Amino acid sequence: MNITIIGSGYVGLVTGACFAEMGNTVICADIDNNKISNLKNGILPIYEPGLEDVVIPNQSKKTLSFTSDLKTAINSSDVICIAVGTPQGEDGSADLKHVLAVATDIGKYMDRYKLVIDKSTVPVGTAEKVRDKIKHELNARGAKIDFDVVSNPEFLKEGAAVEDFMKPDRIVVGAENGHAMSIMKELYRPFTLNRGRFVEMDIRSAEMTKYAANAMLATKISFMNEIANICERVGANVNNVRQGIGSDSRIGFSFIYPGIGYGGSCFPKDVQALVKTATEHGYEAKIIQAVQIVNQDQRQHYTQKILAQYSNSVAGMTFAVWGLSFKPETDDMREAPSVTIIKTLISEGARIQAYDPQAMDEAKTHYFSGMKDIDYSQNKYDALNGADALLLITEWKEFRSPDFEEVKKRMKSPVIFDGRNQYSPSTLIEKGFIYFQIGVASATKNTKIRL
């Protein structure tokens, strides 16, 4: 098929590259001329494992191309994917201005039947708004051209997006007629040959499925963090509790790891948008609101744990930080817990020595630009030099089994605040560390650290 993807960010680029990998001819369009220029030169705007290995070869084969000429892109394809951002508005709702702007352009330029796919994460009822925008532009032109709009939400995990697209758990499609659905089945046929995971439904249900899925996963995270906080107070160990409940097949182990909360471009925005949607329809989503509150409180809980161990006086101290991105295998720092934690400690007079395998440029440019009390290290060990404590914030693989003798040698004090419960308390205590986890009252004597 000839496919145009409008929006060449995270979702659009992964979608376009993976469709091209299956033999389709794909144009990725974007109004950001600098981004398109970089893509033409093989420079990707994001870090995503395996993505470059799909993009570059398909560019060479000319099955994947990039342009900022929307008119040509729209008229070169029969299937058009809308994959632009839906940032959170001031009132918490999803801002649809970019989606509707694309719909307007489609209506202005389309010259024959088009299947328009809503790939962006959008509130229930958006497909109707997209349809109305296209119709309005066609009527203004006096053009009578058929088209269909379908909802096809993405379920890609940052850090595993290419694999998720190529081997999907499910493909959800909402359509209003059999013709549109048949095109979607053919489009996704190469991805479903070995797994019958094509789920058909109405458009509004498909739009709702995306929000419901993200809200459910966010709920599991916040629930486990709340259990962790209770464990600290009653003297239980959340790591043991997790094993006990995760072995129940009705619950499972996914998304029940205690930590410092979720971040990224999806969960925070989508949970808030779902709360807003419920409110607009006269319903108070109490559980989902609580999920948000617990998530925001969790990063403060971690920070307060640190401050409490130093009698709320960290001025002049140096903290090594391992991990800046909101999760491993990405450079995405949107809503990352690291931002709140680092800014709080700096505001208390502390200095930060940070290391992240991928996100340091993002941190320097967008999140800590101009801040003098943060330094960036070339590797994880350099970040430890002279540090009063190590804060593990993002659980990158390279942090899982460090040389603890080297860690101890580099640090001023052998203190670790583990925000992701990655290490064995008994091992670290044996090596002479003072070690703190989430959801465990104390891995050493329950006393404050003496400076």
β-partners of residue 420 are: none
Question: CB–CB of 79/117 below 8 Å?
Answer: yes
Active-site residue, selected from the candidate residues 18, 28, 81, 266: 266
Find all residues with CB under 8 Å of 297, minimum gap 6, and list them. Answer: none
* Residue whose token pair is 């000839």: 2
What tokens does 308 get?
Answer: 């409490």
203-234 and 286-309 are packed helices; what angle lies between their axes, rounded to 10 degrees?
40
Cα distance between residue 108 and residue 141, in whole Å: 8
* Structural contact between residues 332 and 49, judged by C-beta atoms closer than 8 angstroms: no
> Strands 198-201 and 318-322, how do they pair?
unpaired
* 266 carries an active-site annotation: yes
Angle at 273 (CA atoms; ends 245, 331), nearest 5 degrees = 70
Cα dihedral 266→338→226→395 (10° resolution): 90
The amino acid that residue 169 corresponds to is D
DSSP letter, residue 171: E
Under 8 Å between Cβ of 77 and 20: no
* Active site amino acids: 266
